[in-house]
Structure 1
Amino acid sequence: MNNSSGDATHFALVAHDARKDEIVDWVGLQLAHLSRVQIFSTGTTGSRIKQTYPELDVTCLKSGPLGGDQQIGAMICEEKLDALVFFVDPLSPMPHDVDVKALTRLATVYDLPMACSRSTADLIVKGLVDGDDYTPV
């Protein structure tokens, strides 16, 4: 999605249970930048972000295992997102691992910038929120 028209930037923020604290902390570190972003997030992650930072524009979707991952996947397919930040817990077995794989596959298919760690999330914010409009070549 190219925002040269001046539209808001749209990010999806998702985190596995073991990384929810980390994504909430990361949002706090990026608060000045994310205040200019429309955030879509799966249920619990979004609720925690919204509760901690009520000044942010956060739309909470369903919980990941209850369809939130699919809602974000649909937004990717409809090209309604500019980036996906998904703090994945690689050390715990996930009962809904197929949903996770589907999301990362869609982000790859649609060439959507995706971060699974703090450092890559920082780079996406720097490039898409702070930087010039990004248009894939």
Structure 2
Amino acid sequence: MRIAFIAHDKKKDDIVDFVKRYKDVFEGHEIFATGTTGKLINEMTGLKVNRFLSGPLGGDQEIGSKVAQGEMDIVIFLRDPLTSQPHEPDIAALLRICDVHCVPLATNLGSAEVFVKALKSHN
């Protein structure tokens, strides 16, 4: 599966901890991420990460493009719902494109955990 990881600044520690916890599950999949999130995941887990631009610089839209082209299977986007984001229109567009193309999208750790359980049973 092709899995994209995105995390707002206040959620970066959470996403790194999540990927570390399930590294054995993610090793068998192709990993993508926005700039800083991908760098952190790679540094902290050793997983190969295909990196896009930082989210505010277009990374969210790059992942959205992959979703629209049928080249992304799952998106895990740990959002910070309590902080205003300057690139909110890009975020909304990514969420919409996942819905349009029926690509599973986790926006918090609870839904991300459900995805991992599905990936474990898929292996």
Q: Establish whether TM, by shorter chain, passes 0.5.
A: yes
What per-residue deviation string (whole Å, max 9, x for no partner) do you get for residues 107-128 of structure 1?
Answer: 011011110111111111221x
User: d(CA) in 2 for partners of 1:30 and 1:119?
Assistant: 14
Does 2:85 match 1:94?
yes
The answer on 1:130 being equivalent to 2:117 is no
Report which of the two structures shows the higher radius of gyration computed on alpha carbons.
1
> How high is the TM-score relative to the length of structure 2?
0.96
Structure with more helix by fraction: 2
Q: CA deviation at 1:105?
A: 0.4
**Residue deviations 1:72-131, cap 9 Å, x none?**
01000011111000000000011000111000000011011110111111111221x222
Distance in 1, matches of 2:113 and 2:14, equals: 13
Aligned partner (choices 103, 106, 118) of residue 115 of structure 1: 106
Code of the aligned partner of 1:24: V
Matched, 1:48 2:33: no
Q: Which runs of 5 or more residues in structure 1 are unaligned?
A: 1-8
> Contact between 1:37 and 1:57, CA under 8 Å: does it hold in 2?
no
Deviation at 1:25, TM superposition (A): 0.5
Which of 25, 28, 37 matches 2:29? 37
SS of alignment partner, residue 90 of structure 1: coil
Long gaps (5+) in structure 2: none
Partner of 2:50, secondary structure, is: strand
Q: What TM-score, normalized by structure 1, do the two folds share?
A: 0.86
Aligned length, in residue pairs: 123
Which consecutive segments of 4 or more residues in structure 1 shift more than 2 A? none
